[in-house]
């Protein structure tokens, strides 16, 4: 009996390729290999935050946590506003599970909110007023899974802490609630939607509070405070970015007269320095602390104080230097501004006098915004 001819390496490789192809076709409903990757980045609204995070927010799950008045909701809506502006065929869903939507929010953020399904058109944000865990995620799952028009969704859940498992709604207030019931639900839900979110080009921002744990070290001079976000470990595991927003303190306030004490009449608050700790990131930025200036009273989603951001970045890159009370502009900046037709003094008295120049010369701000973006956020 003739010996069977041994298969060549090419034949073996071809056989395995055919086998894998057949398996992928057989289980096509259970994997995403045949789906095209949808990838883009959306600006956070802050140039400094965009630079520090490698270009902004990408499709997938993200978590914004922190104490009250830290700026979580405003930043989430800023991301969604930029997504609706930049990404074609995009819509947004804002799940409001706690309280009512402030009418001023639309004016301040520049996001067009609608509450009727008939008005939910491309570029608008539907407000879903619901606090039932299962219902919220069933609606989200249906939208992103049954999506023949390839709509890119920007979804905000504000907040995860206010969502209630459906079974708990029927219990009496004094009846014991299942321990970690919400966390268990979150784990199951994230398993079902996380890959859909990334592959489909959707962005979901989960807003939650943080708990403080005071840890005592007998050898430390003072107690060490550690924070942990609510909602269980699943939300942390599936999130791409986790931003922890710090509260506003007196030291963070930007005053009309920075060297004097706050006075509601004589020395008003103009804004504050927002502070974010990156608790998790996909680009080696974990544990980075980022600050950026916010200006009060602006509308249309322009609350980030761009002039201050440009000034701070110019100092950081050696384009401006301070010696005593005077700030010197580098010859490189003078030369480039001359080419742009913008007259600029070589020196300014004080850091804030540069802001006055910037507010009078919008072309200067636009030029350096585009320049920094080109170099750092390409």
Nearest to 72 by CA among 114, 113, 44: 44
Rounded Cα gap, residues 135 and 165, in angstroms:
9
The CATH homologous superfamily to which domain 47-304 belongs is P-loop containing nucleotide triphosphate hydrolases (3.40.50.300)
User: In the numeric block, which tokens belong to residue 294?
Assistant: 């916010």
User: In the numeric block, which tokens belong to residue 252?
Assistant: 């963070």
Question: In angstroms, how far is CA 325 from the centroid of its own chain?
Answer: 37
- Cα–Cα distances (Å) from 169 to 50, 138, 180, in that order, read 41, 17, 15
Determine how many CB atoms are found less than 10 A away from the CB of residue 223. Answer: 9
At a CB cut-off of 8 Å and minimum separation 6, what does 313 contact?
47, 48, 51, 368, 372
- What pLDDT is attached to residue 214? 46
Determine how many CB atoms are found less than 10 A away from the CB of residue 219. Answer: 4
- What pLDDT is attached to residue 11? 64
Strands (E), the chain: 60-66, 90-96, 113-114, 125-128, 152-158, 203-208, 210-215, 224-229, 241-245, 253-255, 269-280, 289-295, 320-323, 326-329, 347-349
- What pLDDT is attached to residue 370? 96
Chain segment 114-148, per-residue pLDDT in tens? 999 999 999 999 999 999 999 999 999 999 999 99
End-to-end CA distance of the chain: 67
Query: Please, where in the chain does CATH 3.40.50.300 lie?
Result: 47-304
Is residue 69 helix, strand or coil? coil
Rounded Cα gap, residues 23 and 358, in angstroms:
61
pTM assigned to the model: 0.88
Q: Show the low-confidence residues of the chain (pLDDT under 70).
A: 1-7, 9, 11-12, 99-100, 173-184, 211-232, 378
Yes or no: domain 308-376 corresponds to CATH 3.40.50: no
Query: Please, where in the chain does CATH 3.30.250 lie?
Result: 308-376
Nearest to 369 by CA among 43, 32, 2: 43
């Amino acid at each position: 009996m003739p010996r069977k001819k041994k298969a060549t390496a090419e034949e073996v490789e071809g056989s395995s390729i055919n086998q894998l192809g057949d398996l992928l076709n057989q289980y096509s409903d259970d994997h995403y290999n045949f789906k095209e990757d949808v990838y883009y980045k959306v600006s956070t609204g802050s140039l400094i935050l965009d630079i520090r995070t490698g270009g902004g927010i990408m499709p997938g799950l993200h978590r914004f946590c922190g104490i009250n008045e830290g700026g979580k909701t405003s930043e989430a809506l800023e991301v969604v506003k930029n997504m609706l502006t930049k990404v074609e065929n995009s819509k947004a869903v804002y799940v409001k599970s706690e309280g009512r939507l402030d009418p001023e929010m639309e004016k301040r953020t520049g996001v067009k909110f609608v509450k009727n399904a008939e008005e939910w058109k491309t570029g608008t944000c539907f407000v879903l007023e619901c606090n039932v865990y299962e219902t919220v995620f069933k609606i989200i799952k249906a939208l992103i899974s049954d999506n023949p028009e390839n709509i890119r969704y920007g979804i905000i859940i504000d907040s995860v802490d206010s969502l209630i498992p459906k079974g708990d709604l029927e219990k009496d207030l004094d009846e014991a609630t299942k321990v970690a019931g919400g966390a268990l639900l979150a784990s199951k839900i994230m398993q079902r939607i996380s890959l859909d979110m990334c592959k489909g080009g959707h962005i979901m921002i989960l807003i939650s509070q943080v708990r403080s744990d005071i840890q005592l070290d007998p050898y430390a001079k003072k107690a060490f405070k550690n924070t942990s976000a609510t909602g269980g470990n699943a939300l942390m595991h599936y999130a791409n970015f986790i931003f922890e927003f710090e509260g506003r303190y007196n030291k963070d306030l930007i005053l009309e007269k920075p060297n004097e004490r706050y006075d509601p009449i004589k020395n008003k608050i103009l804004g504050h320095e927002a502070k974010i700790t990156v608790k998790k990131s996909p680009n080696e930025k974990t544990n980075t602390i980022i600050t950026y200036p916010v200006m009060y009273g602006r509308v249309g989603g322009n609350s980030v104080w761009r002039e201050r951001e440009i000034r701070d970045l110019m100092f950081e890159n050696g384009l401006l230097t301070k010696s005593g009370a005077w700030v010197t502009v580098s010859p490189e900046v003078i030369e480039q501004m001359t080419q742009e037709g913008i007259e600029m003094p070589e020196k300014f008295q004080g850091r804030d006098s540069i802001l006055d120049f910037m507010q009078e010369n919008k072309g200067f701000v636009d030029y350096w915004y585009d320049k920094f973006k080109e170099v750092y956020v390409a």
